[in-house]
């Protein structure tokens, strides 16, 4: 069993590490080298691509835009969605089910289909080419996923805790703050990671709403390395790696809360 | 009575519900309305055609049926392997040792990448002449296993599904980890005292406790596999010969290649109904599996 | 619980900051949009970014009142979002269009400003800009000229004493010799652009009438007719005799380019636009263009395929049409078109352009040869276009030509009104 576990874990690790190495190597190569041998060690580890990606375009600007959009989108999605998830879990009877279904439905609509009506709406509201517009749409679109995940976890909080608090005269707001949220930290952390990745990599909405350079986000900027017939893979991957760095940080930061979640559970038990 | 009890809770719904209504419900209702028209997505005017689009999809659209079947294949493959892998890995990696923390982060890494990069990496892995997969198979004397991974029309959809599993297993792992960590340790102690074997521990302690996370993972995976548009489009564009066409790629082509926005909206309404039915069925099944004991 | 109070205060703070930041952004955008003379230019050629940056800098120097804001989308995203963005006139004062279905739909929506009678049209070759005309009005001007037929390794052909053939038997014999010499005769990027590109030269003489696809869409011609079944069986012949690369349906264009560049394959079934990419990997390779003749030499009406594309257009809803036209005029200038052609390695439709590179020079002769406008672009219904392409993949994947044609015709029938 132990051997099986080690083999399985290492195999999957390899399946991730090998392509990852290929990506890292690619950033040090010329296009010619890439096609000669995708896995080969680069001739030299020069940082030309890393330098030119910052020199040739306002990367810092794109980076800032992405950071702003992602931070606001994640924060508010989590805040609004946790409120809704709490309300849904606490609601009695069919009303909770109705709201749950209404929000869950949001995950099931293919984005391609409401994008034309959505564009019209955002344009009419004067929110194209503005980060605020992007953030508002992001929140609305990812809220269903967040509600779905968080309400799943909040349901497993023992009902007796709420009842006891109620007898002590606690308001819903107080129970949300003092019971639901503290006990949901691990699932909030997990949901946040999901949202971070989704908002950070999102291409569809920036593509639709942003056309001015000053409001472009990173994924939109990376598109310029893709040509009609030829794609500049070394530059594209350099961009991808630079772009993924903040996500690695976000992951490492949020992972702490998984650990805290465990210890909290242990103390309680 | 119910209503009064719920009153203060409605305030909790308000901020999210307002945004959701403006930026999601309104455009979606619009899209549903368009499904009864022949709008091309661009012109200022269009005609109302009633249920014609829906009738056409059912009676006169062989590609829609193909895409539907492909989508089910893709979904089942991803659902089974992604759920099983992420659950097994989560159970292996539940303790917070240094190695486990590292592995969890490593497994999560593919999720960070954008679909376009993942598609590019995997096209290189599957490439018939310079591809990593065939080269590796050759070098470990398993050359007979070499395949035309994306070129073979029967295989391509599963090759793409493998990529999807690679892409998102680490993400689902996180949900399971969060779920497993919520299990009180004393439950296992009780099970141990009663002399439960490993399988019994899983069956009677872990599974019932982890069922909420499993519900989330499975429903989310299902929905994700229906919407795996970016990845499939970047890898195969639905080809060769429609063999990797799924509903999302088909809806995209209908709307933006053929400019039949009304028809595409009708296709998506059916798409939504299908996902909704599957998700509800999953909820029922999983609830049943928990209640059983 | 102090922590929670902290978090909620932060959240509130960020909300306020978000609104302030956001509305500030909104104001800025309005100023930028209202300021006279900033035009938006949208297109799909990521590989042309550098040369356009250079040309735009020159343009802004010559026209200090006009600024150009360029946005590049990959062609797929361009297909899906460009039209949506064009509608309100805020984006794409100057935009580009593909010929075929995209042009058709943009025209129907009335987004093309009629350019007929503009002086700069005289810079272009009259014949070559007809693709931008609808009902005798010049709605757009195609800037690029490409030849959609196989690229071949001319040095290798010379070394082996081979010449492009002038009939089908000759083409097969040529492939056989290449195969015997240890080369893959044709690298066929069957997973992406290959079928849609190679079909043009494969069918041009099997169905020499240029209105063949128009008739197909009118229900007057069928894919199960001789011309298409014949084309499919010739694809089958190439596949069965091992003249296409192994697993061609799993091969994409990038990988096929590498096969020609690394001299594993002798021909690449895409088009002249691939030459720059091949040269980048292997600068010493000598390249030429050839088209398979699928009939007897005497019956062959066409020698090759051309496409005039990257069609420059002015948005009819734009508020800055004059500035937009000035920019199109600038790009139509011989000097600027030469810069564009030479730096991107593409032919252009502007006359009297001096081509500098060997490839462009050696393939310029194709401008005077009897080439046919890319038939695939005349399929204005995208579902039918896909069905046609899928039937090729189906045959290369082992299906019989008759069955593949039958299946494709069924999809065509479903799409006829």
Q: What is the pLDDT of residues A203-232, one digit of tens each?
A: 888 888 887 778 888 888 877 777 777 677
Residue C151 carries which DSSP code?
Answer: E
C26: pLDDT confidence band, cut at 50, 70 and 90? very low
The reply to whether B18 falls in a domain is no
What is the Cα–Cα distance from C271 to C151, expressed in whole angstroms? 6
| pTM for this prediction | 0.85
What is the Cα–Cα distance from A262 to C278, expressed in whole angstroms? 56
Closest CA to A219 of A197, A194, A193: A197
Q: Does C261 touch chain A (CB under 8 A)?
A: yes
Residue B172 carries which DSSP code?
Answer: H
pLDDT in tens, A56-95: 778 888 989 999 999 999 999 999 999 999 999 888 778 8
Q: Which two tokens stand for residue B114?
A: 């954008």
Contacts of B191 (CB under 8 A, 6+ apart): B200, B201, B204, B205
Instruction: Decide: residue A174, CB within 10 A, 0-12 exposed, 13-18 middle, 19+ buried.
Output: middle
C87: pLDDT confidence band, cut at 50, 70 and 90? confident
* Cβ within 8 Å of B, A 224-243: 226, 231, 233, 236-237, 240, 243
Query: What's the CATH superfamily of C151-290+381-415?
Result: Periplasmic binding protein-like II (3.40.190.10)
The reply to whether B21 falls in a domain is no
Contact list in C for residue A183 (CB cut-off 8 A) is none
Q: How far is A128 from chain B (nearest CA, A)?
A: 13
Residue A27 carries which DSSP code?
Answer: T
Provide the pLDDT for residue C367.
Answer: 86
Residues of chain A predicted below pLDDT 70: 230, 258-269
- Buried b / exposed e over C187-218, threshold 16 CB at 10 Å, is bbbbbbbbbbbbbbbbbbbbbeeeebbeebbe
Provide the pLDDT for residue C10.
Answer: 47
Helices and strands: H and E segment counts in chain B? 14, 0
Which has more confidence, C292 or C105? C292
In chain B, the number of structural domains is 1
Q: Quick one: average pLDDT of C37-48?
A: 88
Overall residue count recorded for chain A in this entry: 269
Residue C347 carries which DSSP code?
Answer: E
Q: How far is B171 from chain A (nearest CA, A)?
A: 7
B245: pLDDT confidence band, cut at 50, 70 and 90? very high
Q: Which two tokens stand for residue A130?
A: 């503005």
Q: Which two tokens stand for residue C357?
A: 């590179």
Share of chain C above pLDDT 70, in %: 91
Provide the pLDDT for residue C57.
Answer: 93
Using the beta-carbon criterion (under 8 Å), do C18 and A215 form an inter-chain contact?
no
Q: Quick one: average pLDDT of C331-349?
A: 91
Q: Which subunits count as partners of chain B given 3+ CB pairs below 8 Å?
A: A, C
What is the Cα–Cα distance from C73 to C405, expressed in whole angstroms? 35
- State the number of CA atoms in the 13 A half-sphere of C279 facing the CB: 16
Provide the pLDDT for residue C8.
Answer: 46
The reply to whether B240 falls in a domain is yes
- Residue B258 CA, distance from chain mean position: 26
**Segment (H or E) for C289:** strand C287-289
B6: pLDDT confidence band, cut at 50, 70 and 90? low
Q: Where are the domains of chain C?
A: 38-145+308-363, 151-290+381-415
**Segment (H or E) for C101:** helix C101-108
What is the Cα–Cα distance from C290 to C271, expressed in whole angstroms? 10
Provide the pLDDT for residue B280.
Answer: 87
Question: Is the predicted pLDDT of residue B252 greater than 90, yes or no?
Answer: no
Neighbours of C238 (CB within 10 A): 24
What SS3 class is residue B46?
Answer: coil
ipTM (interface predicted TM): 0.84
What SS3 class is residue C145?
Answer: strand
Neighbours of B287 (CB within 10 A): 12
pLDDT in tens, B32-46: 999 999 988 877 788
* For C259, nearest residue in chain B (alpha carbons): B129
Using the beta-carbon criterion (under 8 Å), do A132 and C15 form an inter-chain contact?
no
Which has more confidence, C385 or C358? C385
Alpha helix (H) ranges present in C263-400?
A: 275-281, 321-332, 334-344, 358-364, 382-396
| C151-290+381-415 shares the fold of C38-145+308-363 | yes
Contacts of A121 (CB under 8 A, 6+ apart): B22, B23, B26, B27
SS3 string, A166-177, reads HHCCCCHHHHHH
Name the residue range of residue B182's domain: 60-291
Q: Which subunits count as partners of chain A given 3+ CB pairs below 8 Å?
A: B, C
CB C286 within 8 A of CB C163: no
Residue C119 carries which DSSP code?
Answer: G
Option in C105, C245, C393 nearest B240 (CB) = C393
Provide the pLDDT for residue B137.
Answer: 82
Which has more confidence, C4 or B20? B20
CB C259 within 8 A of CB C270: no
Q: How far is C73 from chain A (nearest CA, A)?
A: 7
Q: Which CATH class is domain C38-145+308-363?
A: alpha beta
Most confident of A69-83, B100-114, C343-357: A69-83
Long-range Cβ pairs for the range B52-60 (8 Å, 24+): B53/B262, B53/B263, B53/B265, B53/B266, B54/B266, B54/B269, B54/B270, B56/B263, B56/B266, B57/B263, B57/B266, B57/B267, B57/B270, B60/C414
What SS3 class is residue C138?
Answer: strand
Provide the pLDDT for residue A240.
Answer: 85
Using the beta-carbon criterion (under 8 Å), do C251 and B257 form an inter-chain contact?
no
| Angle made by CA atoms C346, C347, C353, in degrees to the nearest 5 | 120
Return the CATH number at B172. Answer: 1.10.3720.10
Which residue shows structure tokens 């735009």?
C56
Q: Does B37 touch chain C (CB under 8 A)?
A: no
B4: pLDDT confidence band, cut at 50, 70 and 90? low
Q: How far is A49 from chain B (nearest CA, A)?
A: 17
Closest CA to C255 of A226, B119, A38: A38
Option in A95, A108, A136 nearest B23 (CB) = A136
């Amino acid at each position: 069993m132990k051997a099986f576990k080690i083999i399985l874990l290492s195999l999957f690790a390899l399946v991730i590490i090998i392509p990852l190495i290929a990506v890292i190597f690619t950033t040090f190569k010329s296009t010619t080298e890439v096609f000669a041998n995708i896995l080969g060690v680069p001739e030299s580890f020069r940082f030309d691509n890393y330098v030119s990606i910052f020199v040739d375009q306002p990367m810092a600007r794109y980076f800032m835009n992405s950071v702003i959009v992602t931070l606001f989108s994640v924060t508010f999605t989590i805040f609004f969605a946790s409120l809704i998830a709490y309300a849904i879990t606490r609601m009695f009877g069919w009303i909770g089910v109705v709201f749950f279904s209404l929000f869950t439905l949001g995950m099931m609509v293919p984005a391609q289909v409401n994008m034309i009506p959505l564009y019209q709406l955002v344009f009419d509201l004067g929110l194209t080419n503005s980060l605020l517009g992007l953030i508002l749409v992001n929140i609305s679109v990812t809220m269903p996923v967040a509600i779905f995940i968080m309400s799943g976890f909040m349901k497993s909080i023992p009902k007796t805790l709420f009842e006891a608090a109620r007898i002590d005269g606690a308001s819903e707001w107080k129970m949300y703050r003092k019971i639901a949220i503290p006990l949901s930290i691990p699932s909030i952390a997990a949901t946040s990671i999901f949202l971070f990745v989704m908002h950070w990599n999102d291409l569809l909405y920036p593509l639709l709403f942003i056309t001015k350079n000053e409001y472009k986000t990173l994924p939109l900027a990376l598109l310029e390395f893709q040509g009609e017939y030829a794609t500049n893979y070394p530059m594209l991957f350099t961009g991808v790696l630079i772009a993924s760095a903040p996500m690695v940080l976000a992951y490492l930061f949020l992972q702490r809360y998984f650990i805290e979640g465990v210890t909290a559970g242990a103390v309680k038990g | 009575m119910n209503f009064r009890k719920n009153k203060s809770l409605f305030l909790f719904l308000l901020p999210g519900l307002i945004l959701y209504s403006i930026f999601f419900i309104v455009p979606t209702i619009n899209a549903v309305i368009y499904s009864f028209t022949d709008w091309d997505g661009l012109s200022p005017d269009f005609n109302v055609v009633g249920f014609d689009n829906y009738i056409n999809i059912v009676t006169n659209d062989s590609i829609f049926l193909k895409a539907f079947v492909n989508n089910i294949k893709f979904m089942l493959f991803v659902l089974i392997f992604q759920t099983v892998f992420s659950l097994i890995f989560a159970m292996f990696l539940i303790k917070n040792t240094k190695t486990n923390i590292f592995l969890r982060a490593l497994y999560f890494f593919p999720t960070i990448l954008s679909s376009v990069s993942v598609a590019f990496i995997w096209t290189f892995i599957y490439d018939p002449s310079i591809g990593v997969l065939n080269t590796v198979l050759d070098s470990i004397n398993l050359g007979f296993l070499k395949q035309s991974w994306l070129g073979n029309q029967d295989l391509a959809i599963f090759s793409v599904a493998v990529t999807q599993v690679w892409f998102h297993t680490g993400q689902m792992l996180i949900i399971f980890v969060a779920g497993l960590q919520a299990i009180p340790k004393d439950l296992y102690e009780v099970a141990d005292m009663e002399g439960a074997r490993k399988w019994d521990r899983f069956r009677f302690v872990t599974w019932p406790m982890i069922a909420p996370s499993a519900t989330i993972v499975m429903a989310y995976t299902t929905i994700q596999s229906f919407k795996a548009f970016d990845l499939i489009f970047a890898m195969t564009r639905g080809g060769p010969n429609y063999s990797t066409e799924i509903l999302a790629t088909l809806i995209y082509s209908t709307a933006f290649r053929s400019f039949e926005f009304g028809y595409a909206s009708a296709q998506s309404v059916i798409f939504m109904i299908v996902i909704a039915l599957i998700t509800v069925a999953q909820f029922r099944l999983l609830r049943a599996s928990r209640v059983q004991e | 619980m102090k922590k929670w109070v902290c978090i909620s205060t932060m959240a509130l703070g960020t909300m306020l900051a978000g609104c302030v930041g956001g509305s500030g952004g909104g104001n800025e955008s309005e100023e930028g949009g209202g300021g006279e003379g900033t035009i938006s230019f949208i297109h799909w050629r990521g590989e042309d970014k550098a040369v356009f940056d250079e040309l735009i800098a020159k343009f802004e120097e010559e026209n200090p009142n006009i600024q150009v804001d360029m946005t590049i989308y990959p062609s797929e995203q361009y297909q899906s979002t460009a039209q949506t963005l064009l509608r309100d006139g805020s984006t794409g004062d100057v935009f580009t269009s593909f010929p075929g279905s995209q042009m058709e739909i943009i025209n129907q929506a009335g987004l093309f400003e009629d350019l007929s009678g503009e002086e700069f049209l005289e810079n272009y070759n009259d014949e070559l800009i007809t693709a931008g005309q609808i009902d005798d009005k010049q709605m757009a001007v195609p800037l690029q000229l490409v030849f959609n037929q196989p690229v071949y390794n001319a040095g290798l052909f010379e070394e082996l004493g081979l010449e492009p053939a002038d009939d089908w038997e000759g083409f097969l014999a040529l492939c056989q010799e290449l195969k015997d010499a240890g080369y893959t005769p044709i690298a066929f990027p069957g997973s992406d652009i290959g079928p849609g590109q190679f079909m043009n030269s494969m069918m041009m003489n099997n169905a020499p009438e240029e209105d063949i696809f128009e008739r197909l869409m009118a229900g007057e011609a069928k894919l199960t007719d001789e011309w298409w079944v014949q084309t499919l069986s010739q694809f089958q012949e190439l596949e069965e005799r091992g003249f296409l690369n192994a697993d061609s349906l799993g091969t994409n264009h990038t990988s096929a380019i590498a096969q020609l560049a690394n001299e594993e394959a002798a021909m690449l079934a895409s088009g002249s636009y691939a030459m720059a990419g091949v040269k980048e990997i292997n600068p010493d390779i000598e390249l030429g263009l050839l088209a398979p003749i699928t009939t007897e030499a005497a019956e062959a009406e066409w020698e090759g395929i051309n496409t005039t594309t990257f069609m420059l257009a002015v948005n009819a809803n734009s508020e800055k049409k004059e500035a937009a036209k000035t920019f199109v005029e600038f790009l139509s200038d011989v000097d600027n078109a030469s810069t564009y052609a030479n730096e991107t390695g593409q032919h252009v439709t502007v006359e009297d352009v001096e081509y500098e590179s060997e490839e462009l020079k050696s393939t310029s002769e194709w401008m005077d040869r009897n080439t046919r406008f890319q038939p695939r672009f005349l399929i204005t219904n995208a579902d039918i276009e896909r069905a046609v392409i899928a039937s090729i993949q189906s045959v290369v994947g082992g299906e019989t030509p008759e069955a593949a044609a039958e299946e494709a015709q069924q999809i065509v029938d479903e799409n006829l009104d």
